[in-house]
Amino acid sequence: MEGWPCLLLNTRECSGVIKGEHIKTVGAGGRDRENEVPLCTHHRNRRHDMGIKTFPRHYKLDLEVAALWYWRLYKDRGLARSRKP
């Protein structure tokens, strides 16, 4: 997710480093790249503080759709690669 702006950049609340945030854990069936959205430190912390169900409702997001959208862009740019554990 390096190089992407925070998914919630338009909120003007962003701060900190932007990293990929997994939508579902691997244990819950989540994969890697196609299961991430870019979030800044502020929004990653808000997601963990608010909870995984409240956060997307608060920001009116469908995180699974957003993750799929980013994955397709990522793949189309030829950046897709598998990660080793």
> Domain map of the chain by residue range?
9-76
pTM score, whole prediction = 0.78
What pLDDT, on a 0 to 100 scale, did the predictor assign at position 40? 96
pLDDT tens series, the chain, 85 aa: 678 899 999 999 999 999 988 887 666 555 666 788 999 999 999 999 999 899 999 999 999 999 989 888 877 665 544 443 3
What pLDDT, on a 0 to 100 scale, did the predictor assign at position 80? 47
Q: Is 68 exposed, middle or buried (0-12, 13-18, 19+ CB in 10 A)?
A: middle
What is the Cβ-side half-sphere exposure of residue 84, based on CA atoms within 13 angstroms? Answer: 0
